[in-house]
Structure 1
Amino acid sequence: MPFGHDMVYSLATVVDLVNTSPSTGGDEGLADLDDLAEFVRARQVSGIEALTPRDLGQVRMLREDFHRVFTATDQANAVRLLNTLLADTRITPSLTEHDGHPVHMHYFAPDASLAEHLAADCGIALAHLLVEGEWERLRTCSAPGCARVFVDESRNRSRVYCDSRTCGNRMHVAAYRARRRA
């Protein structure tokens, strides 16, 4: 994909955010403020000072909005969902350089809450993906029992599992065992 560091990083952030949801087949990944603080730290979300219970609620709602974009039935529906999300987001583009990263774009307003920050930066990253005609790269894992999302960054758009070491390996072992039994 022909995106710079900031877009690739924002796409990875939105994937990580969506995959904290129980709707992806796992446990609640944002059970409390400590989990949210860990997410902010791990994803190096800049400009966030203190977190509140309101932030936790807003981020949980936002991740479900992003999840609907990933699981949209077609590109037109994904565009509609993303446009709705972006219409409710204050966006103030600015160039920035921090934490050892090269100059890159931030799209959130200077006084943005965590949810607004994520909605702006991750929403714009998804918008660029859709503008480039790459909607089909937004995927849900094909392994039974797993509904985690991912962005297929393979050249030939052939990735089907969220993680080749877990779901991919599990499915390959199951297929091998089925062949051996046959």
Structure 2
Amino acid sequence: MQLTFTNYTFGASVATALVLTAPEVLVATGDVLTDGESLHAFLTEHGIVPGDRPATGADLDEVRALRTRVRDIVAAPNEEAIVAGANQLLYVARTVPFLGRHDGTWTWHLETAPESTLADDLAVVIGTGLLGTVASLGPNRFRSCESPSCNGVFVDTSRAGRRRFCMPQVCGNRVNVANFRARRRREQQDRPGTGPTDAG
């Protein structure tokens, strides 16, 4: 497969999205990647079109294994481990980078071996994204979700670099609701006549 990329944030966002399909993150709903059809839907949703290759059970197993590796990379304790893990993703896929024209401009392309699997192609997208993030933004953009009830990890490629939650619309909202309820309880306890009374 030949991949065209102009922005490392794409691969980093795919890395985060893949990690967040895992059952240890989505405890209530379970694994998002349950069969070849759901894998194909994930790839298509993120702009990685597998062409006329149907996703097989073997592809599903390999992508799940890749998901575990990507999580380990994102959660790695230091930048050396992040870079080593991301480099390994590209090495295993035997990627050949080259510069070519795309829409009239010179653009980096990556080409995987003809016999590469869906997991190999996905590893190339993710590996380049993770390496680009380290080089451009630094290793502090690799984070754990700040929600106390979440096991997610993510790569923050936002301009401000202040992202705190793996899924802001889910984890962030939960934290905001919990904080709001805690404030309400404190306010009610502080009101005269609503706090605990002494036993007479």
Q: Once the 2 structures are TM-superposed, how far is the Cα of residue 177 of structure 1 from its aligned partner?
A: 1.4
Q: Distance in 2 between matches of 1:97 and 1:55?
A: 30
Matched, 1:124 2:128: yes
**What is the CA RMSD across the aligned residues, in angstroms?**
2.4
Q: Distance in 2 between matches of 1:171 and 1:20?
A: 21
Q: Distance in 1 between matches of 2:172 and 2:155?
A: 15
Q: 148, 155, 168: which one pairs with 1:144?
A: 148
Q: Once the 2 structures are TM-superposed, how far is the Cα of residue 65 of structure 1 from its aligned partner?
A: 0.8
Deviation digits for residues 40-86 of structure 1, max 9, x if unmatched? 22112135322222111111111111110111112122223223333
Contact 2:95/2:111 (8 A) holds in 1: yes
Q: Distance in 1 between matches of 2:12 and 2:183?
A: 37
Moved more, 114-123 or 39-48: 39-48
Matched, 1:89 2:93: yes
Q: Once the 2 structures are TM-superposed, how far is the Cα of residue 91 of structure 1 from its aligned partner?
A: 0.4
Greater C-alpha radius of gyration: 2
Q: Once the 2 structures are TM-superposed, how far is the Cα of residue 123 of structure 1 from its aligned partner?
A: 0.2
Q: Show structure 1 runs of 5+ residues with no match.
A: none
Matched, 1:33 2:36: yes
Q: Once the 2 structures are TM-superposed, how far is the Cα of residue 155 of structure 1 from its aligned partner?
A: 4.0
Q: Once the 2 structures are TM-superposed, how far is the Cα of residue 159 of structure 1 from its aligned partner?
A: 1.7
Q: 68, 73, 78: which one pairs with 2:82?
A: 78
What secondary structure does 1:132 align onto?
Answer: helix
| Number of positions where the alignment pairs a residue of Structure 1 with one of Structure 2 | 176
Match of 2:57 in 1: 53
**Identical residues among aligned pairs (%):** 30
Q: Once the 2 structures are TM-superposed, how far is the Cα of residue 6 of structure 1 from its aligned partner?
A: 3.8
Q: Show structure 2 runs of 5+ residues with no match.
A: 187-200
Match of 1:21 in 2: 22
Counterpart residue type for residue 14 of structure 2:
T
Change in Cα spacing, 1:133 to 1:159, as seen in structure 2 (3 Å) is closer
Change in Cα spacing, 1:38 to 1:169, as seen in structure 2 (3 Å) is same
Change in Cα spacing, 1:49 to 1:119, as seen in structure 2 (3 Å) is same
TM-score (norm 1): 0.83
Change in Cα spacing, 1:139 to 1:159, as seen in structure 2 (3 Å) is same
What secondary structure does 2:90 align onto?
Answer: helix
What secondary structure does 2:149 align onto?
Answer: coil
Bigger RCO of structures 1 and 2 (CA < 8 A, at least 6 apart): 2
Contact 2:33/2:39 (8 A) holds in 1: yes
Match of 1:7 in 2: 8
TM-score (norm 2): 0.76
Counterpart residue type for residue 10 of structure 2:
Y
Q: Distance in 1 between matches of 2:150 and 2:129?
A: 24
